[in-house]
Amino acid sequence: MRIGELSERSGASRRLLRYYEEQKLIVAERSPNGYREYDEASVDRVTQIRGLLDAGLPTRIIKQILPCLDKPRVIHFSDATPEMIATLEQERDRMTERIAVLTRNRDAIAEYLETVLEGDRLNATS
């Protein structure tokens, strides 16, 4: 697929896709006319990259862990630096905290909605 289709299917702008390619996070083949051509797996890869970026990981770390996303039980990093391990531990802990906050917020919204909807039902029957 060409860059426009990947952009549409992944929700990432063409500019962002070119940046991912520049950072060697995704790979595009070149057709004879010079157009970028992406395979089907690129859609999932871009989604994974965006999720990791949204979680706060820098692209240099994402580049190192991308192989783990394909076969996490098979990959072993012989070159994992103490910095990389510390960064991943910090990001994991930060994500855990964000999940807890999001869970509390979701539960509060659900409780609020339940109360509002129950009030609406009571008012409708009065």
Same domain, 15 and 64: yes
Same domain, 39 and 64: yes
Torsion from C-alpha of 66, 44, 53, 99, nearest 10 degrees: -100
Question: Tens digits of per-residue pLDDT, 11-21?
Answer: 999 999 999 99
Same domain, 69 and 98: no
Task: Give this prediction's pTM.
Answer: 0.63
CATH number where 43 lies:
1.10.1660.10
pLDDT of residue 68: 75
Same domain, 96 and 51: no
Same domain, 126 and 106: yes
Domain containing residue 94: 80-126
67 or 106, which is more confident: 106
| Percent of the chain clearing pLDDT 90 (strictly above) | 54
Same domain, 5 and 64: yes
Same domain, 59 and 37: yes
Question: Tens digits of per-residue pLDDT, 24-52?
Answer: 999 999 999 989 999 999 999 999 899 88
Same domain, 32 and 68: yes
Look at the chain and report how many structural domains it folds into: 2
Cα–Cα distance for residue pair 72/15, rounded to 1 Å: 29
